[in-house]
Homo-oligomer: A and B are copies of this chain.
């Protein structure tokens, strides 16, 4: 009976460790986005997502890995890379529920110019993740610039509430 107790303790502990490892895996996905975007690496960027992953910026969705691959390879993005851009992700608040997870964070894009660095975009993000056979992947990132409107607040409010809501209106 003692050894049963012990193996139950170890199993419970293993689950807690798994949860901490899942968090670390998800940090890697979120922070990997910056390096992929700022090196203009389409393959690395698309590889963070599931095949059916969606990247939705200001309500406009890119659907599927290949759409994300193409966006990173586009002249617009490659031109930012040549100018010098830094898509700096903030640390995410992550919630894991089995094989699914969500996270909320801030991100900023700094742009280089001859006059120095400017803050081009400051953005609120909701992320959704799924555990796949290859590990955690992003299934959806909804992003909106923080411009005083309700869309970014709705994304940030998911740090505290399951359902999107605008705590101000």
Contacts and interface: CB of A to CB of B under 8 A. Distances in A.
6 contacts: A6-B10, A31-B93, A36-B160, A78-B168, A86-B146, A110-B122
Interface in A1-32: 2-3, 6-7, 9-10, 13-14, 16-17, 20-21, 23-24, 27-28, 31-32
A91 B31 contact: yes
A48 to B, nearest CB: 10
A160 B32 contact: yes
Interface of A: 2-3, 6-7, 9-10, 13-14, 16-17, 20-21, 23-24, 27-28, 31-32, 34-36, 38-41, 44, 78, 81-86, 88-93, 104-106, 108, 110, 112, 116-122, 124, 145-149, 152-153, 156-157, 159-160, 167-168
A14 to B, nearest CB: 6
Contacts of A81: 148, 153, 168
Q: How many copies does the complex hold?
A: 3
Given A81-B153, A153-B38, A106 B93 contact: no
Contacts of A83: 148
A157 B13 contact: no
A160 to B, nearest CB: 5
